[in-house]
Structure 1
């Protein structure tokens, strides 16, 4: 990982950490002052974001280490591991919201009355939604720009907090404006939010596990790789393509055929041109191995 990319990851992660710290403290104070269990739970959700920010920053430094004697392909998988850890944190937060929402629903079903939240909790929910959605948009844009799956995963964690706050806003709004019988809307909204969070976590975990299990790149990218390899008319029959993702980089192995009478120098020159085209398309960190075979007589 180059220094510019690492610096970008640290910058976007620090911004997220600072915003989450202010929001979490503010929502906790608003939840306690406004007697809103939903807002207190939302604050806990924000505090979980602080932990994932630390995970992303720590693993970004590990994945930036260059290859060494024991890691010929570098340390990019640390970033994949960070993505999975962030995703598991998302799932844990979703489970917590789910349990809390079911408890609230049961309270109302059993004849209990949920407390009426204060206006300060309502205002905190609105501020949280706006701030977290803006933070999500900034983080996901930067993560895609620098090609960091763990930063993108962390962006979705920010959005899950915005969704959680949206559910909290609906519940608090119903409880505040519509009376006692509508206070069940709070845990019901939280239940819906939990389902969305589980869906996001599942998708991110699946992506991370695919990388750890050396899953090939999507077919459209493999077709593009073969096309770039075969652009030179002296290159024939690209085959035995193997691809995989290593953190933010990819690895490509492919066999090609060239004229058996061609000089080694010319063969090497053509191979370098193929590598240059692939790195121009997929980044300087692309790991490429090209095996040249003699062209079979027709």
Structure 2
């Protein structure tokens, strides 16, 4: 992928991330105030979740500032791994937030059920704020996911799912607060129960976000289906014999392929070179112009 295209990707990623950043700034402030005034532990937990979005937004902005740089002597394959690292950090941050909410809500449930502590009833302001958050975060999820898929950015897509997890969080909060308000004193425990359910959803989302990027950082090869398809493309090219030693991996939004092929002994260097060019053209047609392909050509008798 050329520098101009990476620059465009970075600009698009930055634009959608800044939109999310300012939306999170407003939402976090409103949620925190509503949670305190409205006596809702679920809403305060939801506010903390939104606060974590600031961290991930900043991580995405910083990572794309690095990703847009061209390859250099220290990073011959470009800076795509910084985007992968950003995705991993987003996932881990989200998991820690979920764990914190789980612990806090668990304490409140323990106090209400086993210690018979009277929990304060949430107020309407917390319920209205939860509804506002649901709508806002779902809109942010949709526009961020669309942009992330358009520019093929794992970090932006991960950030989109962070928005979606916040929307789920607000749905759970809305149900818990609504139940606690409408069903009376004996049901106030629904508020921290809602926060507990939300925390589980958050941690599940965090796992989904981070597992792929962690595998990429550990240089795991592409999935079997992709590897088989790459071999099939190469095998179907005229005069290629026995493609072998296939190695694949990802660097950001690009894939890297290493392959050995055999050709007839009597081919000239020019003819063998043209075969390699054809391999590159056909693979890039399917996997993108930024795909990096290293081909080791050997005589047939080897």
The reply to whether TM is greater than 0.5 is yes
1:283 aligns with 2:302: no
**Which of 8, 22, 37 is the equivalent residue of 1:33?**
37
The structural deviation recorded for 1:129 is 0.9
Range 200-209 or range 73-82, more displaced: 200-209
Kindly report which structure 2 residues correspond to 1:94-105, keeping only aligned pairs within 5 A, or say none: 94-105=98-109
Question: 5 Å matches for 1:82-161?
Answer: 82-109=86-113, 110-161=115-166
In 2, the alpha carbon distance for the partners of 1:213 and 1:34 equals 46
- Which whole-Å CA distance do the structure 2 matches of 1:274 and 1:295 have between them? 17
TM-score (norm 1): 0.95
Out of 86-95 and 147-156, give the one that drifted further. Answer: 147-156
Which residue is 1:183 aligned to?
188
Q: Note if 1:17 corresponds to 2:21.
A: yes
Give how far 1:67 is off. Answer: 1.5
Matches within 5 A, 1:224-243: 224-243=229-248
TM-score (norm 2): 0.94
- Displacement over 6 Å in runs of 4+: none
Deviation at 1:108, TM superposition (A): 0.8
Q: How many residues align?
A: 297
**Alignment partner of 1:243: what SS?**
strand
Deviation by residue 1:247-295 (Cα, 9 ceiling, x = unmatched): 1111100011112211211211221121122222212221110111112
SS at match of 2:39: coil
Structure 2 CA distance for aligned equivalents of residues 143 and 221 of structure 1: 22
State the alpha-carbon separation in 2 of the partners of residues 32 and 227 from structure 1. 61
Q: 1:67 aligns with which of 50, 68, 71?
A: 71
Distance 2:44 2:101 in 1: 11
Deviation at 1:97, TM superposition (A): 0.8
Distance 1:273 1:185 in 2: 63
Shift of 1:296: 3.1
Alignment of 1:255-274 (within 5 A): 255-274=260-279
